[in-house]
Structure 1
Amino acid sequence: MISKLLSKPIGLVWLVSAPALLTAQVANKKVDGIVKNESGMVLSGVSVKVKDGTATAVTDRFGHYQINAAPTDILIFSYIGMQTSQVPVGNQALVNVTLTSAATQLEDVVVVGYGTMRRADVTSSISSVSAEAIKDLPVAGADQMLQGKVAGVSVSANGGQPGGGISVRVRGLTSINGNEPLYVIDGIIVPTGKSSIAQDKLGGMAGSTSQSGIAGINPNDIEKIDILKDASAQAIYGSRGANGVVLITTKRGKAGEGKVSYDMYYGESKVPTRLDLMNLSQFAQYNNQVLQEISKVTGNPYTPIGEYQRPEVLGEGTNWQDAIFQKGKMQNHQLSFSGGSEKTTYYLGLNYFKQDGTIINSGFDRLSLRFNLDHQIKSWLKVGISSSTARTNQKTTLTNGSDAIVNVAAFNSPAAPIFGLNGDFAPPVSIGGYAFGNPVNPVALAQLRQNTGDQFKAFGSVYGELIFTKFLTMRNEINYDVTNDNNMSFQPSLSSGGTTILAPSKIVEQRNPSYYWALRNYLNYNQSFGQHNINAQIGHEAQASYYDNILASRQNLALNIPSIAAGEQENQVIEGGKGDWAMESYFLRAGYAYDNRYSVNLSLRRDGSSNFGPDRKLGYFPAASVGWTVTNEKFAKNLKVLNYLKVRAGVGAVGSSNVGGASYATNIRLFATGPFGAGGVPDNVGNPALGWESVTTYNGGFDAGFLNGRLDVTFDIYKKITSDMLMATRLPKYTGIGTEWNDIKSPNVNAGRMTNTGFDIGISSTNINKNGFTWKTNLVLSHYKNRLDKLNSDQADLMRYTEYSNAVILTRTVPGGPIGRFYGFISDGLFTSEDDLHNHANQGQAIGSKGLWLGDVKYRDLDGNNVINDGDMTYIGDPNPNFTFGLTNSFKYKGFDLSVFLQGSQGNDILNYTKRSLETPVNVYWNQLQTSLTDRYSELFNTNGTVPRYNQWHQDNKRVSSRFVEDGSYLRIQNITLGYNLPTAWINRIKMQAARIYISGQNIYTFTKYSGYDPELGSYNNDALMQNIDLGNYPNPRTFTIGANITF
C-alpha cells in the first residue's frame, strides 16, 4: 500500500505535507516542568525550544520553564556539558527532564590550541577531565587534581608541604632539562618557573620547598581540563609544547537568570605513618649493648651509664616525631556569581584557601579573584576579558638533607628534652659523658626559623572577535602576566643554659619580579557543505618576558630582628640579575572531514626565539594526523556489540628552548668591588651554533564504544624521540672553564638524544543504570620506557650527588639505559665468618675489629680484581615505574552519590637515603630504627642479625648500596567522597536552587612494601635525574573534610 502511494506524485506530496497540516489543526497549550541533572540538582539556563518551531524558553534559577507547544511537538533541551534531550509533548502538561553528562558524547567540544574542535573530528591524542570529576578533591593546586585521572599523565607530589611542588609528566620524561608541561589557561600561557624559598645561603637542601608553578590558580574556577599528549596536537604550540600541554578552561557565565554559588569545606589532616624509632627504654638498652661492644673492641673496661642501668623503667622519653608533627587544618571558601543575557555573560569568583601543614610552622594560604566577561557588541563584533589575580603565602620548613626537619627529628635522642627547666628550648643533654641529641633541637629549628614565600600574580587576556560571516571570524588577543615573588629565610641566634643551639643569626631576602605579554591575531574558517567539513586557522603571535631579581643576605642581626637592615655589612652578599626573552611566531592549522568517516588535520608553526643566535633563531614544527571512523561505514552499520570505532594515527614535531636567555652569547657578570675596582667577568661561554631541542612523536590509537555507550575504550601507543638535546659541555681543564677554579659556566650545545616508548589505556563503563541507581567505573593505565641514546661526545655520563657535606653519588645516567637510575654497590649481606673476611675482595679496610670485621657489609666484586672500589659500582635501582594507574568507581542513588578513587604505581624503586643513617649504627648519641636494636649483628648479643654491627671506626657500611633500595610500588586509596543532594522541595522554600553536603577522605590508606613515610616522592626540585630519592621528604598527609555546595 505504502509503495503504491509513494509511486504516485500526489501521494508523495500528501505524505510529506500531512504532518504539517495536522500540526496546524492542533491548538497549542502551555507546557511547563523542571530540568535537573543526574544528581538531582536543578539546572538554570537550560535552552528549551520546539523542534522545527519558533517557540523558545530558558529555565530559571529553580530549573523551571514554561513554553507553548502542541501535543504533536517535540521539545529540545540543551545545556553546555550535557547531552541534548528530545521529549515528545503528547498529552502531558508537565514535562520534567533529567539531562545527563555529555562526557562520552561525540559532539562534545574539545579544547585544542587556539580554539576548539568537535571530538568526532579529533585525530590526535587528547584527554579531558571535567570539573565534576575533580570537584571534591581537597588540594591546593589544579595540577594535583590530575593524579590518576588521565592516561599517560603521571602526577606525584614532591612532598606534603602545603602549596609545594608537583611533578607532572606527560608520557614520561622528555629531556634531562625541564619536563613540566605547558599550562594554558583560557588561552593564556602561564609561566611556571620554580619559586623556591631562599634557603641556599642558610644551608640545607630546598628541593621540595619549591612552590607549585600554578599554586595561585584557584581549582574552584575550573570548568574543564584538556591535555594534549602527542606532538600532532602539541605542535601548534611549537617550541613550548615539547613536554605536553595542559589546557585549562575556566567557568564563564551563561545566558539566563543569575546564579550565586557558595562552596566550602573544612578539613583536618595528619601524617598517617611513623618510623619505628627507638623509644628511651630501647635507646638505653641499645646504648648498654653498644658500650659493651666498644669495650670488647678497645679493651677498655665496660662502664655502664648510671641512668641507663634499668632501661625497662625509663618509659618512652621524648617522641620527636610527635613533637614536630601536628594536626593540620584546612579550609576553603568559594563565592561565585554568574549569569547574563543573550548578549552579555559574566562570571565572578572569589576564593580563600588556607592550609596549616602537618609539620609545625608550615602552611599555605591563597586569596584569589577571577572575572570573566563576554559581550556581543554588534552582530559582527564580540569582546571579552579573562582575568585572575591571586596572592599566596607559603611557610615552609627545610626538607631533603642533613638538616631537614624530618631527619633531625628522627636522629635526635629520646633522652633529650624539648624544653629546659627555664622553659627555653633545651640544648643537647650530656649523660655519662656522652652528648645525647643532635646539636640542633628540631622543634627550635622549625619554630624559630622563618622560611616564607609571598607571591602576587595577575594574569589575563582581552579579546575582540570580528564575525565576517558565520564561517569566517578573526580574533585578536592581548595576554599579560605580572608575577612578583618575595622570598625570605631567617634564622635567629639561640643559646640555652650556656650552650649555643643556633648561630649566627642570618637572613636571606629575594625579590623576583617578572613580566610577560603576548599579542595574538588569527583567522578561523569553519564550514560544512554536504558531506564535507573544512576548518582552517592562520595566525601570528608575539611574546616577550622580562625579569629583574635581587638577593641579599647578612649575618649577626641586631636583637634577632628579621630584617636585612639589622645585619652586619661584613660578609654580606648582594646578588642580582636581569634579562629578557622574546619570540615571534606564525602558525597554520587545517582540517578536513568527509561524511563523518575520514578526517585529516595538519598544522605548522614557525618560532623565532631570542635565546638562539642569528643563524639558529628559527624553528619549524609540522604535524599531521588522520582518523577513520570505521563504524560509519556501511559494512559496520549492523554491528550489535561495537557501536563506535575510530582509528587514529599522527606524527608531529615540537621543540624546546629551555636554556637561559641569550645563552648563545657570552654574558657578562658585573661586580662593584674587586682587586682592581669595579668591573665584569664572563658569566658563561657562548655558543653561536646553539639551536632548538626537537621532539618528534609517532602516535597510533583508537577510540571504541560498546554496548550502546555503556563501555568506552581509548588506546594509544607512541614513540617519542628527543634529539639535539640541550646540555652543558665539558671544556678541557686547561681552559679553567667549569672547574673548581672559577664559576664561569661551560657552553651549552645540542648533543643528546632520548627515546620514550609506551602506551595509554582509558576505560570507562556504565555498569548499572536503572531504578534510579547508577554505577560507573573509570580506569586509566599508563606505561612508558625511557632510554638515553647519546650524550655529548666528550661526556660519558651524567651524575647527581647529595648537596651537603661529603657529596655522595646517588644517580648515574649513561647512553643505552633509562635516566636517573640509582648508582652504588651491590650488598651481599654481612660478613659472618673470618674465612669469609679473608677470602673476600679487599674493601679498603684492614681486617680487624676496628677495620673490616664480622657484621660489616659485604660488597660484591663486580670487576673481579679482588678490590672493592669505584669499578664495582653499578646500577642498583630504577625510579621509573612500569605502570601508573587510577581507578574511580562512582555510585548514585536518588540524592546520594559515592565516589571511590584509587591510584598508584608499579615497578619503581626508591633509594631510601634516610635509612642510610637510621639503620647504620655509627655512634651512641643518634637515635636509630628499632631494627638497629633487634636485628643488629653483634658478636655479644646477636650473631644472626641482618643490620650491620655498631661501627664507629669507619664509614664503610654507609656506602650507597642495594641495601637502601626498596620496592616503591604502591596502591593508594586516594579519595572516598560521600555526598547528599537535599531535596528540591526543601531548599526551594529558602530560595535555593541546589544544596549538597559531603564528607571526604584523602590519602586514606596505602598498600606498599616501602618502609619510609611515603612511597610517593616525586623528584627533587623537579630534576629528572633525582626521582624517588627519600632525603627526608615532607610526608603527604591524610585528610578528612566536610563540605557543602549551595546555589541560589
Structure 2
Amino acid sequence: MKRLHKAMTRIVGVLLMALMMVPSGLKAETTEMLQTSKITGVVTDDFGEPIIGVTVRVKNAQNGAVTDVNGRYSVNAPKNATLVFSFIGYRTQEVAIKGKTTVNVTLQEDSQMLEEVVAIGYGAVPKRDLTGAVSSLKSEDLLKTNPVSINQGLQGKLAGVNVSQSDGAPGAGVNIQIRGANSFTTSTEPLYIVDGMPYSVGEAPATDYGTKSKNNPLSTISPQDIQSIEVLKDASATAIYGSRAANGVVIITTKSGAEGKAKVQFSANFSVAKSVKTIDVLDACDYANYQNERKANGWLFDGLEYAPDSFTYPTVGRWDDIKEPDPETGEMVVVGKKYKPSPQDFRNGFELNGQMFYGSRWQDQIFRTSFSQDYSISVSGGDKKGSYMYSGGYLDQQGIITNTYYKRYNIRANNTRKINDYIELGANISFTNAENRLARTNTETSGLITSAISYDPTLPLRDPEKESGFSENNSTGLSNPYLAAHNEKNVLLTKNVFASGFGVISFTDWLQFRQNLGYSYSYDERNQYYNRWTSSGRPSDGLGIKNDQVYESLTSESLLTFNKKFGVHAVNVVGGFTYDKVMWRSKYLRSSKYPSDGNEENNIGAGVEGREMTSDRGRSQLMSYLVRGNYNLLDRYMLTFSFRRDGSSRLSPLDRWSNFYSGALAWRLSDEAFIKSLNFFDNLKLRISAGQTGSQSVSPYATRTVLTAKDNNYPFAGSLENGMAQNRYNAAAPTLLSWETTTQYDIGLDASFLNNRVNLVADVYYKKTEGMLMDKMISWMSGFKQIKANFGNVTNKGVEVSLNVIPVKTRSFMWTLDANISFNKNEIGGLQADHFIPDLVWGFNNVFLMRNGHPIGTLYGYVEDGFYDNEAEVRADPYYKNATDAKIKSMVGEIKYKLLCLQRLTH
C-alpha cells in the first residue's frame, strides 16, 4: 500500500509540475521586479525520500513553484516572507524564510486525510471524528498470525473484547463477550453486521451425545475476505441497533474491488498442531499396585482375611489355566494357558501377542500431530462506474484428536455498479459448505478424553480373543479409546447462504436514499452413530441419531441520509425503517438395535427399538424506526444523538414496543490554542457518552401457554385415546413480559503524539442490565413450576486501555508494537434467591451459583481443611453421628472440610 501511495504521488507530482511550468516563469518575472531573492530547497517525507509535485507558494502572494523529481524547488520571494508547502495526503506547512536562501522541509503525513474510515451503524465516519467507543482491526492486522478463522484472528487484539472457546476441536463454536456478560440466562453474543446487514446462522442441532450448541457466524467467513472489523462497545455506538445490540456490535466489511486492472491474489497457509502435554496418569505397574491395594482395603473394611494369591495382579507373574465347558459332558476342562502378570512385569515387560508389552498409553492412541491447509484465491477490479470482487477458498483443519476435522469450502461475490450519476446498485452473495467431525469430549463419564485417562493401562490395544479384535472392559462402561475414536460417528454438515443487495438514489450531493435487502439461509445436519463396539452403542446394539435444522432470516432497511456542511458547521442525519423476520424448523430422529452397523444412521428406520421422532418450527418478527444525528462544529466539537423504537413479536402485546436513546459528546482538545502551544499532541480528544439498549432474548412463544403432546390416555367412547395436555413442567404464560434493558455510561480519551508514533485510547465504563428475562418460581398450586418474568440485574464496570507504538519507522523497515489491557468487574443483584446453573458437568451439578452481590460464574463448593489424621478427628466431626450406611462415614486419611455448607472458592 505504501509503494502504491508513493507511486501515485510521483505521478500526480509530475502532472502538477508540467501544468505549472509556464505560470511559474511568469511569476518569477513579477517577483524579480519587486526586488525579491531566489529561495531554493528540497522537500522530503518522514523516510527522507523526496516528494514530487509539492506546491510551494509565497503566503499572501500569487507566485509559487512545484517540486521536481528530486523534490527540489526554486521560488522568488521577499526575504521576510513565509512559504506555504502543500500536497495531497500531507499536512500543509508554513515556514518563515527569515533571510535565508535555502529552506528544506520535511512534510508529515496528514493522519486526518490518510486515516481509515470506520464503519458504524448505518454509515461510516473518519476515525478521528468518532464520539463513541469503537475498536478497529484491519485486514493486515487480522492476518498477521495466519488464522484459519476470524475468531482466532480476534483473540487478544481488541481491548474489552473477550474471545473464548469452550472446546478445542476444529471448527468449534466460540463465545465473544464485549465488556463482560450482561446476563446468565440468555446469550451474551454480540450482534454481527456483515456488509451493512445483520448476519446470524442460528444454533447447531444438539443431541443426547456430543452437543454443539452454538454456530458462530464468523466461522463461515474466510479471514482472507475481510477488509476490516469494527467492534462497537458503548451505548452511543450501539443504541442505533436498539434491542439487538445490548451485547455490543461487531461490524464486518468484506473486501471489494478498486478501479483499475484486474488483480489476482492467491494465498496458501499450512500449519501444524500438537498437544503440548498429556495428563499425568498411573502407568500400568502403578495401576496394578493400586488395584491390589484397593482390593486389600476392601477386605479390611469388610473385616475379612485376604490371601495375596487372590489379588487381581499376583505378587509373582504366573500362568493360569484357561477353562471352558466340555461340549459333551459340560464339565470345565483346560483348553490353554494364559499369563497373569504381576505389577512388576509391566515395568520389566513381558511377551504378549508376539511382542513385548509394558502397558498401554491410551492418550497416545487418541492424540496426534495434526496438519492443516488453507487456500484462498480472489479476482478483483473495477472502473469509474463500478467494482467487482470474486473469491473462493478451501480449509482443511485436522484436529489433534484422531479422526476429527473441519473442512470448509467458501465462495463470495461482491459487485457495485453506477447506473448514472444518481443511481447506484450493489449485491453481495456468499456460500459456505462445511463438514465438521467431532469427538465426544464434552461429557464427564463417557467422553473420549475421559476414557483415555481412565481406561485400564494394563490392557493391550488389541485382543485377538475379542470379537472386535480389540481389548474391552465392559465393567467400567468405558469404551476402548482407540475403538471410540474410530467408531463413534458425530458429523455436523453445514450450508450457509448470505445475500444482500442495495440501491442508492442520490437526489443531491447531500441527500440520498438507500434501500437494503438481506437474506440468510443456514442448514445444519448432525449425523451420529455409535456401533456395538462403543460404550454408547453396546447396550442397544447400535444407536443412530439424525437431527437437522433450517434457519432463515429476512431483513429490509429503508434509510434517508442528510449530509451537508454549512460553513464551520457539519450536519449528518440518518433516519429510516427496518424490518426483520426470522424463521426456523427442525426435526429429530433416533433409533437403536440395528441388524448390522453397515449402514449406520443412513437407514435410521432399520433400528427397531428406542425410536423417537420430534419436530419443531417457529418464527419471530422485529420492526424498528430509527434516527441518528451527528453535528460537528469547527471540526473540534462533536455531538451525536440516536433514537430507535423497536417492536418485537416475542414480547407481550402491551409491552411489545420500547424506545432506546443514546447521546455522546466529543471535544478535540488538540485543536485548542492552549494545547497547540504545547507542540506535543497530534490528536487529543475527550469523549463522553450515555445510552440504553435492550434485549428480547426469549422464546418467540414465551408469552403463550404451550400445549405439549404427551402419553396421556383419556377414556373416550369406551376406549383409551391419546390426547393433548398442558405439560406442568412448561412455564405459564406471563401477562406482562417487557424488554430487558442495558444502560451504559462511558468516558474515553484518544491521544496521539510524537508525529502519531504513539497512539493511546482509554475508556472507563459503567453498564447495568435490568429487568432480566428469567424464569421465576411460582406456586405449584397454579399448575406450573415457573413463569417467565422481568427481574434481577447485572452490573459491569471496567477500564480499557489500548496502546499503539511505532519505535522504528524508516523507508525500508517499520516496527510496530500493539498492546491492550482491560479490567471488568461483574456483579449480580435483584434476585429472589440463589440461582444455580444446573447440569454444567454430569456428576458435578450446581457448582456455579448466582447470588446477589457476587459475580456471574462464581464457583462454589466445600473448602478443604487438610486430612483426618486419626480416628479421634473423624469421630469429632459433627456429621459423623448422622452418617448412615447410605452415606459412608469419613475415614482416616480422607479430606476434611472446614464447613459442610456452601462457600465461595473462586470467581
**Same fold by TM-score greater than 0.5:** yes
Question: Equivalent residue for 1:409?
Answer: 452
SS at match of 1:599: strand
Q: How far is the alpha carbon of 1:283 from its aligned partner?
A: 1.8
Q: How far is the alpha carbon of 1:424 from its aligned partner?
A: 6.0
SS at match of 1:721: strand
Question: Equivalent residue for 1:127?
Answer: 135
Distance 2:420 2:46 in 1: 34
Question: Equivalent residue for 1:363?
Answer: 405
Question: Equivalent residue for 1:680?
Answer: 724
Distance 1:150 1:658 in 2: 26
Q: How far is the alpha carbon of 1:363 from its aligned partner?
A: 1.0
Distance 2:841 2:760 in 1: 46
The correspondence for 1:235, drawn from 239, 242, 256, is 239
Residues 345 and 373 in structure 1, CA contact (< 8 A), matched pair in contact too? yes
Distance change (3 Å), C-alpha of 1:535 and 1:860? same
Distance 2:680 2:438 in 1: 55
Distance change (3 Å), C-alpha of 1:833 and 1:321? same
1:684-723 aligned within 5 A: 684-723=731-770
Q: How far is the alpha carbon of 1:280 from its aligned partner?
A: 1.2
Letter in 1 for 2:638: S
Distance 2:110 2:451 in 1: 52
Residues 711 and 763 in structure 1, CA contact (< 8 A), matched pair in contact too? yes
Residues 518 and 555 in structure 2, CA contact (< 8 A), matched pair in contact too? yes
Distance change (3 Å), C-alpha of 1:877 and 1:597? same
Residues 23 and 72 in structure 1, CA contact (< 8 A), matched pair in contact too? no
Q: Does 1:825 align with 2:865?
A: no
Question: Equivalent residue for 2:190?
Answer: 181
The correspondence for 1:629, drawn from 660, 668, 681, is 668
Distance 1:753 1:322 in 2: 47
Q: Does 1:579 align with 2:584?
A: no
1:215-254 aligned within 5 A: 215-254=219-258
Distance 1:701 1:294 in 2: 66
Distance 1:277 1:654 in 2: 50
Q: Does 1:165 align with 2:173?
A: yes
Unaligned runs of 5+ in 1: 1-17, 27-35, 41-47, 54-65, 89-97, 739-745, 862-867, 879-1048
Q: How far is the alpha carbon of 1:660 from its aligned partner?
A: 0.7
1:579-978 aligned within 5 A: 579-670=618-709, 675=714, 677=721, 679-682=723-726, 684-738=731-785, 746-770=786-810, 772-791=812-831, 793=832, 795-802=833-840, 804=842, 808-843=845-880, 845=883, 851-861=889-899, 868=900, 872-878=901-907
Distance change (3 Å), C-alpha of 1:360 and 1:77? farther
SS at match of 1:120: helix
Question: Equivalent residue for 1:334?
Answer: 376
Q: How far is the alpha carbon of 1:620 from its aligned partner?
A: 0.7
Distance change (3 Å), C-alpha of 1:848 and 1:602? closer
Distance 2:641 2:107 in 1: 36
Q: How far is the alpha carbon of 1:390 from its aligned partner?
A: 0.7
Distance change (3 Å), C-alpha of 1:371 and 1:50? farther
Distance change (3 Å), C-alpha of 1:495 and 1:669? closer
The correspondence for 2:424, drawn from 369, 382, 388, is 382
Of the structure 1 ranges 603-612 and 850-859, higher mean CA displacement relative to structure 2 is found in 850-859
Distance 1:448 1:293 in 2: 37
Q: Does 1:525 align with 2:562?
A: yes
Residues 201 and 551 in structure 2, CA contact (< 8 A), matched pair in contact too? no
Distance 2:887 2:235 in 1: 61
Q: Does 1:300 align with 2:301?
A: no
Distance change (3 Å), C-alpha of 1:369 and 1:103? farther
Question: Equivalent residue for 1:349?
Answer: 391
Distance 2:706 2:837 in 1: 26
1:132-147 aligned within 5 A: 132-147=140-155
Letter in 1 for 2:279: L
Distance 2:793 2:147 in 1: 36
Distance change (3 Å), C-alpha of 1:49 and 1:385? farther
Distance 1:134 1:99 in 2: 30
Q: How far is the alpha carbon of 1:803 from its aligned partner?
A: 5.3
**1:868-888 CA-partner distances (Å, limit 9, x unpaired):** 4xxx1221121xxxxxxxxxx
Of the structure 1 ranges 677-686 and 760-769, higher mean CA displacement relative to structure 2 is found in 677-686
Q: How far is the alpha carbon of 1:447 from its aligned partner?
A: 1.1
Distance change (3 Å), C-alpha of 1:139 and 1:784? same
Q: How far is the alpha carbon of 1:120 from its aligned partner?
A: 2.2
Residues 202 and 215 in structure 2, CA contact (< 8 A), matched pair in contact too? no
1:1022-1037 aligned within 5 A: none
**1:558-589 CA-partner distances (Å, limit 9, x unpaired):** 32222244434543111111111111111000
Distance 1:309 1:674 in 2: 60
**1:200-251 CA-partner distances (Å, limit 9, x unpaired):** 1xx4x525x7443432111110010000001111001000000010000000
Distance 2:530 2:713 in 1: 29
Question: Equivalent residue for 2:99?
Answer: none
**1:259-296 CA-partner distances (Å, limit 9, x unpaired):** 00001112221111111111112222333444444454
Q: Does 1:21 align with 2:29?
A: no
- The RMSD of aligned alpha carbons is 3.6
Letter in 1 for 2:154: L
Letter in 1 for 2:381: G
Question: Aligned residues, how many?
Answer: 792
Residues 433 and 496 in structure 2, CA contact (< 8 A), matched pair in contact too? yes
Q: How far is the alpha carbon of 1:848 from its aligned partner?
A: 15
Q: How far is the alpha carbon of 1:77 from its aligned partner?
A: 9.0
**1:838-858 CA-partner distances (Å, limit 9, x unpaired):** 333325547999732211010
Identity of aligned residues (%): 26
Distance change (3 Å), C-alpha of 1:441 and 1:111? same
Distance 2:466 2:449 in 1: 23
Distance 1:131 1:720 in 2: 30
Q: Does 1:421 align with 2:461?
A: no
**1:742-796 CA-partner distances (Å, limit 9, x unpaired):** xxxx3211111111110110011111224733322111101100001112x4x44
Question: Equivalent residue for 1:29?
Answer: none
Q: How far is the alpha carbon of 1:635 from its aligned partner?
A: 1.1
Distance change (3 Å), C-alpha of 1:495 and 1:427? farther
SS at match of 1:615: helix
SS at match of 1:214: helix
Question: Equivalent residue for 2:63?
Answer: none
Unaligned runs of 5+ in 2: 1-19, 29-44, 58-67, 76-83, 95-105, 315-340, 350-356, 715-719
Letter in 2 for 1:681: A
Residues 415 and 427 in structure 2, CA contact (< 8 A), matched pair in contact too? yes
